[in-house]
Amino acid sequence: MNHYPPTSGSHNINRRSFLAAATAAGLAAIAPRGAASETTGENRSEMQKEILTGNGEWTYRIATGWGALRAGTEFGGTHGAVAQDDAGHIYVSTQSETGVLVYTPEGALLKTIAGDYPEVHSMVHANENGVEYFYCTVQKGTPKENWLFIKMKTDGTVVQKITAPSEAGFKSANEWRLTAAVPAPDGSIFIANGYGDSRIFRFDAKGNFKASYAGKGHDEGQFDCSHGLAVDARYDQPLLLICDRENRRLCHFDFDGKYVRTVTQHLRRPCQVSFHQDYAVVSELEGRTTILDRDNVPVAFLGDNPRKDQWAKYDVAPAAIVPASFSAAHGCFIDKEANIYVSDWNRTGRVTKLTRIRA
């Protein structure tokens, strides 16, 4: 039996909140190229051109202008994640007091949530007994709360927090620099200290510390920035999939904290993973998003940026990045129709929707 693959509170948008967001430190509008108060005929023609990326059955059309905000409106850097609730709304986290943006699948902004937690780095959706939650890691929160895990409802109501566990042996607050969190099948919570010592921490459903695993290094079973976590349910035995970013690989662990294997190597600094059936979508900080099959073999490269000078560059202007390329793919999510949403690690904010082209 093949258990795993072979090695290879909300705020409605109104004039007041828009103006407040526009003055927040950070981000320029996530807008289509050439966005202005008036669109010329030339710009309309350019925007209507079909822009494609990918290959074969994984060919995608760029949804030009998806998520565009009113000209002059600013929200904050997109060093975060993308997620979706059961109603189909898309959530994009930012680095500003705006918090998390909530969109329709078509790209219309509905509201913002979690304004008290302006730097949500990761978001994973879960439905527990009919109640929806996001499991999130936060870099910057309130003045007294930074670098913490929060579990919140889809309206931004926080129901649980986890801070650095005393059992971890940390000597300073700066050693707890979490990057990802996921709920396990048994209700446990796994948290990656990716920007810290790269350990994986396990807590029970109530937030009690249970164990920590692995740590920083380059050998099998170690990580150099355990940046992203996901529950990989593509096989008979569900496993924890870790984006080992600076070692440029993906690794499987079981839920007892045992290293299983390295499943994919030679990636471009993988950040986050999202699943669609037997396929995995991986955002890579060095200008690309990759689709892997069940054996974790690449079947498509999306937004592969030929300009290496733009790879992993936080300050590159979105207007300088061609629509079919990524500069620093950080957050990613694939929906039930296999449409993909990617947020670049970008100072002025960049979010792209890729619409799958059906044969």
The pLDDT tens digits for 182-241 are: 999 999 999 999 999 999 999 999 999 999 999 999 999 999 999 999 999 999 999 999
Answer whether residue 5 is part of any domain.
no
- The model carries a pTM of 0.88
User: What is the C-alpha to C-alpha distance for residues 343 and 121, in angstroms, rounded to an integer?
Assistant: 11
Residue 327 sits in a domain whose CATH number is: 2.120.10.30
Tell me, letter by letter, the H, E, C secondary structure of 2-65: CCCCCCCCCEECCHHHHHHHHHCCCCCCCCCCCCCCCCCHHHHHHHHCCCEEEECCEEEEECCC
Q: What is the mean pLDDT of residues 113-126?
A: 95
Question: Residue 35 belongs to what domain range?
Answer: 11-356
Answer whether residue 1 is part of any domain.
no
- Split at pLDDT 50, 70, 90, the class of 48 is low
| More confident position, 74 or 250 | 250
Answer whether residue 2 is part of any domain.
no
pLDDT digits (tens, 9 = 90+) for 273-286: 999 999 999 999 99
In this structure, of 30-34, 152-156, 213-217, the range with the lowest mean pLDDT score is 30-34
Answer whether residue 288 is part of any domain.
yes
pLDDT of res. 67: 93
125 contacts 133 by C-beta, under 8 angstroms: yes
Total count of domains within the chain: 1
Answer whether residue 84 is part of any domain.
yes
In this structure, of 74-78, 131-135, 324-328, the range with the lowest mean pLDDT score is 74-78
